[in-house]
Structure 1
Amino acid sequence: MNEKEFWDIIKQMQSYDEPFEWLIEHLSKKTDDEIIDYEIHLKNALDKSYTSHLWGAGYLIMGGCSDDCFEYFRCWLIAQGQEIFELTLENPEFLAECIPDFYEEEEIVPELEDMLYIAMEAYSLKKTGDVDCDEASDEFLSRVEEREYECNRDNIEFDWEDEDDLMVLFPKLWDRFGENPLG
């Protein structure tokens, strides 16, 4: 599976009522290598989005953003598709227009932790018929490691220190979420 196929699958998943269930089922029908490829493309997108600016935007949108929260936020961003992902990386202010209004009304937080487990669950389903199999999960993690995936995240040097900095960096996000964050 190449990067284009990865993003095509993410786009397809958006048209289903149960996107994660569909994606697990869809991936489980792929070859072992394709499932591993999916995982590596996900990890690469997570690495690419590990930036100070995006973290600042997430912090502002959610009224705070821990390490885990930032990872789940980036998973949510990936699940929005390649175009939104790339536009947001270029300019996190895009999120002021991109996040639907109903997120505030329904108190939805833009986080998708489940994205982290899709490939492992698909691999487990393929191997055992069950999404939760420790043996298959261990094998999956070994297979990813064998592919010599290396995290390309450098330590972040933040270009912001507090909400005053975020207000200046992201005026559109501040106008929308500064006083009423989603978190």
Structure 2
Amino acid sequence: MKNSITLLSLFLFFSINVCGQNSTQNQEESLGSIENPEIAVRINLDSITLPKSSEMLSENSFWALIENSLKETTNQEDQEIFLVSAIEKLTPQEMIGFRLRTDKLLFDTYNENLWCAAYIMNGGCSDGGFEYFRCWLISRGKEVFYNVKENPDSLINEVIVGQENYEFEGFWYVAMNAFKNKTDKELFSYIDYDRFVTNDENYPVLKFSWNIDEPKTMGVICPVLFKNLWK
């Protein structure tokens, strides 16, 4: 009888320990999922159908994201991080739309007058530099963007003493990086280029009325910037 009680006690002790270990393991796995939210939020596009898109994010939504990034950050690096994080919260369709809206704004500002302003402000401006200059312009917000689009000389209001470069290369990639982080896919694979044509492949051929070998011709286009910044 005594031996039977001893065996029963050992069995109960072993059962309780095993159950406790399983419970602890389940709790740890659950906490692990919470501590690694990326696992929970990553979208598996292999399991859903996402058609190619030509639909831009609405201007209101686009500029709201930009304005929030300006309010919450004080430098380009932090603004880039903020935007990637904010775009990751959008749907895949909206992330594509953010990129398409960016492309449209870049397309709309591809002109000789703004290139002249970029050349003066940066002391030179290549093709790539002009692209990143306009990315910087977009990153300054809706009001600045449309004021400059209307009058490039208004950029004098954005000049910071001691700053020699006005470009934002990282802005060009924020939507693509967010899409990659969220879906593990390349955003450009989901753009319908047959329908969306306002992109860099279709930039117009520019005819320049200013010439870097004749600097005064730049002063005709952007007299205020030229007077204050050209050396």
Asked if 1:46 corresponds to 2:102, the answer is no
Residue identity matched to 2:192 = E
Partner of 1:114: 170
Higher mean displacement: 152-161 or 79-88: 152-161
Asked if 1:33 corresponds to 2:80, the answer is no
Q: Which has the higher contact order (CA 8 A, sep 6+)?
A: 1
Asked if 1:91 corresponds to 2:151, the answer is yes
Cα distance in 2 between the residues matched to 1:148 and 1:122: 23
Larger Rg: 2
Cα distance in 1 between the residues matched to 2:143 and 2:194: 27
Deviation at 1:147, TM superposition (A): 7.3
Partner of 1:13: 69
Question: Unaligned stretches of 5+ in structure 2?
Answer: 1-56
Cα distance in 2 between the residues matched to 1:108 and 1:147: 39
Q: CA RMSD in A?
A: 1.5
Give the structure-1-normalised TM-score. 0.85
The answer to whether the Cα contact below 8 Å between 2:88 and 2:182 also exists between their aligned partners in 1 is: yes
Deviation at 1:108, TM superposition (A): 4.2
Cα distance in 2 between the residues matched to 1:10 and 1:110: 17
Give the structure-2-normalised TM-score. 0.68
Higher mean displacement: 72-81 or 150-159: 150-159
| SS of the residue 1:145 aligns to | coil
Question: Unaligned stretches of 5+ in structure 1?
Answer: 129-135
Identity of aligned residues (%): 30
Partner of 1:133: none
The one-character-per-residue Cα deviations of 1:81-133 (angstroms, maximum 9, x if unpaired) are 111011001111101122233xx2xx3411001011100100011124xxxxx
Q: 1:19–1:69: structure 2 CA closer, same or farther, 3 Å change rule?
A: same
Partner of 2:228: 176
